[in-house]
A and B are shown apart, each in its own frame.
Chain A
């Protein structure tokens, strides 16, 4: 029985991130105490990281780079299975910036979790802030992001205030999608794909575009 348990657990081994740069005072909670992080330090899954005033660091994970801005408290989690890698950044205060890098093989999931919502990072660069006084705010720097059931594109923002109300600035995208009305019936899917790709400046998959256009609530 024990042997079977070991066999089942091996594919779910927990790995960690690597600190690639540190400015100022950045600490990790390891072994019931806070220890200073330096370039080259590794973080086990589930480690809390706190950056001080005017301090910043970058963590490299298999799915991308996480930049931890000043006065930010996060929990870094990483899980590798036979199917791929899941990276989750639990943000408790201030700001993180994440840049996704597609791994050479396997599935990759990259999430930023706050008490007010979770953003799934997909081929993108984004900035997420959270505080109990402001709630959550997400800004897409490039690519697209799915957050609280909505799709956001570069330059767009979405937030959830402390009362739980969702706001966004996605009018610009809605306007762009209305241009789709100009396409005549005989236009092929490829034409639509080209037009949407050009508008969005991204090589989105058909599935992504269909997902964007099928549900106005996501825009």
Chain B
């Protein structure tokens, strides 16, 4: 019985974490977002039923999950998730700056953005929704 209860307590949040329109609406309203928010959203673009527990976080190392999201970090996450080519400088260095420059070149970021610019929830969702068009 105890085992079932523990299983239920762990299981419920995992099911609830599947991304919803409501969560995206909440993200849009947020002034600041984290790397974890971005990875979850990016991973959900192709697999909306994915839960946080299914995400292979190692793919995004050395980014810290609780770090504030910047344009460069989002670019790196997108490239690691397969949404763009990083170019040979990114291939050599793995730096966020080169990930960002590649995606800015591809038109995903406006020319007014720079790599270390912190992003709001609306900006993060705005970039990701371009990938759904």
A residues in contact (CB < 8 Å) with B: 24-27, 29, 34, 48, 50-55, 69-73, 92-95, 129, 131-135, 161-163
In the complex where A71-B128, A133-B110, A134-B126 touch, is A95 in contact with B133 (Cβ < 8 A)? yes
Q: A54-B48, A70-B129, A93-B126 are in contact. Are A25 and B21 (CB under 8 A)?
A: yes
Question: Min CB distance, B105 to chain A, in Å?
Answer: 15
Chain B residues near A53 (CB-CB < 8 A):
19, 24, 44-45, 48, 132
Other-chain contact of A132, B126, B128, B132 (Cβ < 8 Å): B126
Binds A, one of B30-38, B61-69, B117-125: B117-125
- CB of B106 to closest CB in A, whole Å: 13
For B45, the closest partner residue in chain A by CB is A53
User: What 0/1 readout, one digit per residue, does chain B (3-44) give for beta carbons within 8 Å of chain A?
Assistant: 000000000000000011110110010000000000000001
Taking residues whose C-beta sits less than 8 angstroms from the other chain, chain B's interface range is 20 to 34
Q: Which residues of B contact A52 (CB under 8 A)?
A: 19-21, 24, 48
Binding site for A on B (CB under 8 A): 19-22, 24-25, 28, 44-45, 48, 109-110, 112-113, 120, 122-123, 125-130, 132-133
A131 to B21, CA, bound (A): 16
Contact in complex: B132, A163 (CB < 8 Å): no
The verdict on A132 contacting B21 (CB below 8 Å), with A53-B132, A70-B132 known, is no
Q: Which residue of A lies closest to B41 (CB)?
A: A53
B20 and A25 within 8 A (CB): yes
Q: Which residues of A contact B24 (CB under 8 A)?
A: 50, 52-53, 71, 73
The answer on a CB contact under 8 Å between A161 and B110 is: yes
CB distance from B115 to the nearest CB of A (A): 14
CA distance A27 to B22 in the complex (A): 7
Known: A25-B48, A54-B132, A161-B110. A48 touches B127 (CB 8 A): no
| Neighbouring B residues of A134 by C-beta, 8 Å | 110, 126, 130
Whose C-beta in chain A lies nearest to the C-beta of B23?
Answer: A52
Q: Please measure, in the bound complex, the distance between the C-alpha atom of A93 and the C-alpha atom of B28, giving whole angstroms.
A: 8
Q: Do A34 and B110 touch across chains, with their CB atoms under 8 A apart?
A: no
Whether A132 contacts B123 by the Cβ 8 Å rule is: yes
Nearest B residue to A129 via CB reads B133
* A-side contacts of B21, CB under 8 Å: 25-27, 34, 50-52, 55, 71
A99 CB, min distance to chain B CBs, angstroms: 19
Q: Assess the A132–B120 pair: CB atoms within 8 A.
A: yes
Partner of A94 from the list B19, B22, B45, B132 (CB cut-off 8 Å) is B132
